[in-house]
Chain A
């Protein structure tokens, strides 16, 4: 040991120029100096330009009156609201389309992905065509296709398509009955929450009992009965407080009901279809990544094919699937910024309008970047937690 230490302490370098340590320090100092100089130069130019254009810096502008309307808003908003609220509306719209899109894309993606591994030749081919088509065209094109190619050429409100459950489809979007919650409907929500809590509790107990005694308990049916039955019971007890506001056809437009505008609809459909193709590939790779030996061993233990899939294949496939799935969810959220191209008021669109009106380019872009980064980090955190939960527990 001693001789090694001696060797390390006396490097036989010819010159200090060749010493990697000194070189490393030199390069880093050089980079820092260049960076500081660059930032200083840029800051100097920005200040110069801003004073020349007479733009006050700082985030005070967020309190100013917005003065523009937003077509879709989840919270109360008018043109008298502040810029800050306008950006908040945009953020909420981004989150809404992202969450709904992620759910739909996951469902379509899993169906198509499993379909690509089907024994059935026809189903396999249909799914392959779907994936190869959507993977190879830009998402923006898919959005335009839904928006100007499909939804814009639907009939005018007068000749709307009548769909089941009193809903309508026309140029101005998709109309469906709006639920009107009467007095006492809070009881239903409480019952739903209680049902979910009880189902969770039952599942936990059943697992403990199975671990201890090996006896199984019909968890699925019990939970389903609890989650559906309790709210139904509460609904009946509180005197049927739910009614529906159906959209009605008048001469030029539809009144009443809930309107989903074509901007939202095309963005949502396009993001779901596009991302689903990628999720399908991830799912396929995940299932194929579970070795055939696992399936065979499970079959040798006497499990039925449904149980093999549920207990052996899927849990292992999920470990492969989750990390890339996370990045697809992030991609979908980021792609929702394409909304600006068809006029859906998402974060980029509203922040862009604010930026144009106030001229606060630096602050506007910083707000956008910070919010998107925060969404990305949050999604990664949640998915990492889920991943850690699903990960292989080794001894």
Chain B
């Protein structure tokens, strides 16, 4: 490089100046984000008033005034209601949740057999966590273990009746156990079934296409409760005399079919987004229909609709709470059932139990949605439209 010796040209760079006062720091942030204009200031004041009104009450109720342990309802009731708390007291009754925790998790599963669902839960976590972390190797083996071996092991452990394990009726299952097993099976069944239905809907064979359209649109047009009614009232009528289905199985079929119809529409959205050239390219390579779908179309289509798929999963996870209508007790159902326990009936019981259930549901759903956002970012190869 040629050296300049012209005296009016600087030879060294000017040092970076600090940003002018008033655009950095806390004051500037407040000016920009809270009091940018008169309207903004009013909004901020209203917002602060709202938070100041609600937040202390919530903290007071949930933590400061809350009762954490106790043998029965007296710890959560005021003197007037026959308890030990001063009159006018309101606070969360976590003692209720504490006392019923085992039931909330496993329902009426026999106490001496509870190690079985706990073992299944440990196995499930041990297989799921490496599946979710992208860096852990051997995904194929892991998937086989999670989706094929684990269900069999879980079935043997949970139902029993073989290898010397006593049989446990599914009517004794309850709580989070029911919620999670319904959703796991529902997810594992509805995704493949939804893919098949979506392919059927785009198929060139008229009869198959019509059948798929009718199934999808009918199921999407009616509420899940009607489907569950159908599964619990009509299925027994459909079968020959003497043959009967387990109630749990009926709910499983209902939930899975329901979710499959929604999944089919999500997958169809992905299939429609794949350019025609991809299909034609696969054809010109001489791939058959299933090869084309498996190697070329599906990997691209499914990647596009990950948010939709996870939304359907979340929806199904929340929908499992409806099995209470056909008198099965999932997490929400068992919490609600315990309101009528005279030993714990206070004004705070219902609220505390429901907020606990809401927190558990929220954890799972929020976790799923955050993980899907992470996966979406990870798989984003820039082809997204």
Measured between beta carbons, the chain B residues less than 8 angstroms from A122 are 33-34, 43-44, 47-48, 51
| B43-A340 in contact (CB<8A) | no
**CB contact under 8 A between A153 and B347, given known A126-B47, A148-B354, A362-B234:** yes
A362 vs B44: C-alpha distance in the bound complex, in angstroms? Answer: 57
For chain A residues 298-353, which have a beta carbon within 8 Å of chain B?
Answer: 330, 334-335, 337-338, 340-341, 348, 352
Task: List the one stretch of B144-152, B292-300, B318-326 in contact with chain A.
Answer: B318-326
Select which of A27, A136, A373, A377 is within 8 A of B361 by beta carbon: A136
A45 vs B234: C-alpha distance in the bound complex, in angstroms? Answer: 11
Does A49 sit within 8 A of B, measured CB to CB?
Answer: yes
Does A144 sit within 8 A of B, measured CB to CB?
Answer: yes
Measured between beta carbons, the chain B residues less than 8 angstroms from A139 are 318
A387 vs B321: C-alpha distance in the bound complex, in angstroms? Answer: 34
| B241-A140 in contact (CB<8A) | no
Measured between beta carbons, the chain B residues less than 8 angstroms from A99 are none
Interface residues of chain B: helix, strand, loop or mixed (majority): helix
Taking the nearest CB of chain A, how far is it from the CB of B41, in angstroms?
9
| B362-A137 in contact (CB<8A) | yes
Select which of B229, B240, B324, B362 is within 8 A of A352 by beta carbon: B229
Does A291 sit within 8 A of B, measured CB to CB?
Answer: no
A362 vs B236: C-alpha distance in the bound complex, in angstroms? Answer: 11
**CB contact under 8 A between A372 and B223, given known A148-B350, A340-B325, A362-B237:** yes
**A360-371 Cβ-contact flags toward B at 8 Å (1 or 0):** 011011001100
Task: List the one stretch of A100-108, A113-121, A195-203, A212-220 in contact with chain B.
Answer: A113-121
**B320-360 Cβ-contact flags toward A at 8 Å (1 or 0):** 01101100000010001001000000010011001101100
Does A128 sit within 8 A of B, measured CB to CB?
Answer: no
| B366-A132 in contact (CB<8A) | yes
Does A35 sit within 8 A of B, measured CB to CB?
Answer: yes
A46 vs B361: C-alpha distance in the bound complex, in angstroms? Answer: 39
Select which of A35, A45, A372 is within 8 A of B221 by beta carbon: A372
For chain A residues 133-189, which have a beta carbon within 8 Å of chain B?
Answer: 133, 135-141, 144-145, 148-150, 152-153
Taking the nearest CB of chain A, how far is it from the CB of B145, in angstroms?
29
Select which of A48, A132, A337, A348 is within 8 A of B240 by beta carbon: A48
Q: Which residue of A lies closest to B359 (CB)?
A: A137
Select which of B36, B319, B365 is within 8 A of A135 by beta carbon: B365
| B234-A152 in contact (CB<8A) | no
Select which of A49, A119, A138, A149 is within 8 A of B319 by beta carbon: A138
**CB contact under 8 A between A361 and B237, given known A140-B322, A352-B229, A369-B218:** yes
Does A194 sit within 8 A of B, measured CB to CB?
Answer: no
| A335-B223 in contact (CB<8A) | yes
| A348-B314 in contact (CB<8A) | no
Does A376 sit within 8 A of B, measured CB to CB?
Answer: yes
Measured between beta carbons, the chain A residues less than 8 angstroms from B332 are 138, 140-141, 144
A59 vs B88: C-alpha distance in the bound complex, in angstroms? Answer: 56
**CB contact under 8 A between A136 and B208, given known A361-B237, A362-B234, A365-B234:** no
A35 vs B208: C-alpha distance in the bound complex, in angstroms? Answer: 11
Measured between beta carbons, the chain B residues less than 8 angstroms from A137 are 318, 358, 361-362, 365
Measured between beta carbons, the chain B residues less than 8 angstroms from A136 are 314, 361-362, 365-366, 369
A364 vs B233: C-alpha distance in the bound complex, in angstroms? Answer: 10
| A49-B50 in contact (CB<8A) | no
| A24-B358 in contact (CB<8A) | no
Measured between beta carbons, the chain B residues less than 8 angstroms from A364 are 233
Does B207 sit within 8 A of A, measured CB to CB?
Answer: yes
**CB contact under 8 A between A45 and B354, given known A120-B43, A372-B223:** no
**A5-43 Cβ-contact flags toward B at 8 Å (1 or 0):** 000000000000000000010011001100100000010
| A140-B324 in contact (CB<8A) | yes
Taking the nearest CB of chain A, how far is it from the CB of B223, in angstroms?
4
A140 vs B336: C-alpha distance in the bound complex, in angstroms? Answer: 11
Does A265 sit within 8 A of B, measured CB to CB?
Answer: no
Does B226 sit within 8 A of A, measured CB to CB?
Answer: yes
| B34-A372 in contact (CB<8A) | no
Measured between beta carbons, the chain A residues less than 8 angstroms from B229 are 348, 352, 355, 365, 368
Q: Which residue of A lies closest to B360 (CB)?
A: A137
For the complex of A and B, the 4 pairs showing the least CB-CB separation, nearest first, are A136-B365, A121-B33, A334-B223, A138-B318
Q: List 12 A-B contacts (CB under 8 A).
A: A28-B205, A46-B238, A50-B237, A119-B36, A120-B43, A120-B47, A122-B48, A126-B47, A133-B362, A148-B339, A365-B233, A372-B221
Known: A140-B332, A153-B351. 4 other contacts (CB 8 A): A123-B44, A137-B361, A139-B318, A145-B351
